[in-house]
Structure 1
Amino acid sequence: MAPASRIANLRQAGNEQFRNGQYSQAAKLYSRALELLEAAGETNAEEKSVLYSNRAACYLKDGNCSLCIKDCSEALDLVPFGIKPLLRRAAAYEALERYHLAYVDYKTVLQVDTAVQAAHDGVNRMTKALLEKDGLQWRQKLPPIPAVPVSAQRRWEPLPLGSQEATSRSKEKNTAVTNKVPTAATTEKANALKLEGNEFVKKGNYKKAIEKYTESLKLHKLEATTYTNRALCYLNIKQYKEAVQDCSEALNIDPKNVKAHYRRAQAYKELKDYKSSKADITSLLKLEPKNSAAQKLLQELNKLLK
Structure 2
Amino acid sequence: MAASPGSLRRAGNEEFRRGQYGAAAELYTRALALLEASGEAAAEERSVLLANRAACRLKDGACRLCVADCSDALELVPFGVKPLLRRAAAYEALESYRLAYVDYKTVLQVDCTVQAAHDGVNRMTKALLEKDGVNWRQKLPPIPTVPVSAQMRWSVPSAGAPGANPPPVTAPKGEPDRTAAGTERARALKEEGNELVKKGNHKKAVEKYSESLQLNQECATYTNRALCYLTLKQYKDAVQDCTEALRLDPKNVKALYRRAQALKELKDYKSSIADIKSLLKTEPKNTAALRLLQELNRA
Deviation (angstroms), 1:33: 0.2
Match of 1:106 among 97, 104, 107: 104
Equivalent residues in 2 for 1:1-306, closer than 5 Å: 1=1, 6-39=4-37, 43-156=41-154, 251-252=176-177, 265=190, 269=194, 281-283=206-208, 293-294=228-229, 296=231
Q: C-alpha distance in 1, partners of 2:51/2:31?
A: 13
Q: C-alpha distance in 1, partners of 2:97/2:204?
A: 31
Deviations 1:144-167 (A, max 9, x none): 00000011011248xxxxxxxxxx
Deviation (angstroms), 1:74: 0.5
Q: C-alpha distance in 2, partners of 1:265/1:296?
A: 18
Q: C-alpha distance in 2, partners of 1:134/1:56?
A: 29
CA, structure 1 residues 18+278, in 2 after alignment: closer, same or farther (shift >3 Å)? same
One-letter amino acid matched to 2:206? I
Contact 2:11 2:27 in 1 (8 A): yes
Q: C-alpha distance in 2, partners of 1:67/1:95?
A: 12
Q: C-alpha distance in 2, partners of 1:128/1:282?
A: 19
CA, structure 1 residues 14+81, in 2 after alignment: closer, same or farther (shift >3 Å)? same
CA, structure 1 residues 41+278, in 2 after alignment: closer, same or farther (shift >3 Å)? closer
Deviation (angstroms), 1:43: 2.6
Contact 1:265 1:278 in 2 (8 A): no
Deviations 1:145-202 (A, max 9, x none): 0000011011248xxxxxxxxxxxxxxxxxxxxxxxxxxxxxxxxxxxxxxxxxxxxx
Contact 1:284 1:294 in 2 (8 A): no
Q: C-alpha distance in 2, partners of 1:280/1:79?
A: 45
Deviations 1:64-107 (A, max 9, x none): 00000000000000110000000000000000000000000000
One-letter amino acid matched to 1:143? P
Contact 1:100 1:142 in 2 (8 A): yes
Identity rate, percent: 65
What's the RMSD between the two structures over aligned residues? 3.7
CA, structure 1 residues 153+132, in 2 after alignment: closer, same or farther (shift >3 Å)? same
Higher helix share: 1
Give SS of 1:132's match.
helix
CA, structure 1 residues 74+283, in 2 after alignment: closer, same or farther (shift >3 Å)? farther
Q: C-alpha distance in 2, partners of 1:118/1:112?
A: 13
Give SS of 2:61's match.
coil
Deviations 1:226-267 (A, max 9, x none): xxxxxxxxxxxxxxxxxxxxxxx98459xxxxxxx9xx8489
One-letter amino acid matched to 1:86? L
Number of residue-to-residue matches in the alignment: 191
What's the TM-score once normalised by structure 2's chain length?
0.56
One-letter amino acid matched to 2:108? L
CA, structure 1 residues 79+282, in 2 after alignment: closer, same or farther (shift >3 Å)? same
Q: Tell me what 1:303 maps to.
A: none
Contact 2:113 2:175 in 1 (8 A): no
Contact 2:112 2:175 in 1 (8 A): no
Gaps of 5+ in 2: 156-173, 179-185, 215-225, 233-299
Deviations 1:30-76 (A, max 9, x none): 00000001145673111000000000000000000000000000000
Q: C-alpha distance in 2, partners of 1:148/1:55?
A: 24
Give SS of 1:146's match.
coil
Contact 2:205 2:228 in 1 (8 A): no
Deviation (angstroms), 1:269: 3.3
Q: C-alpha distance in 2, partners of 1:24/1:50?
A: 17
Give SS of 2:135's match.
helix
Gaps of 5+ in 1: 158-248, 254-260, 298-306
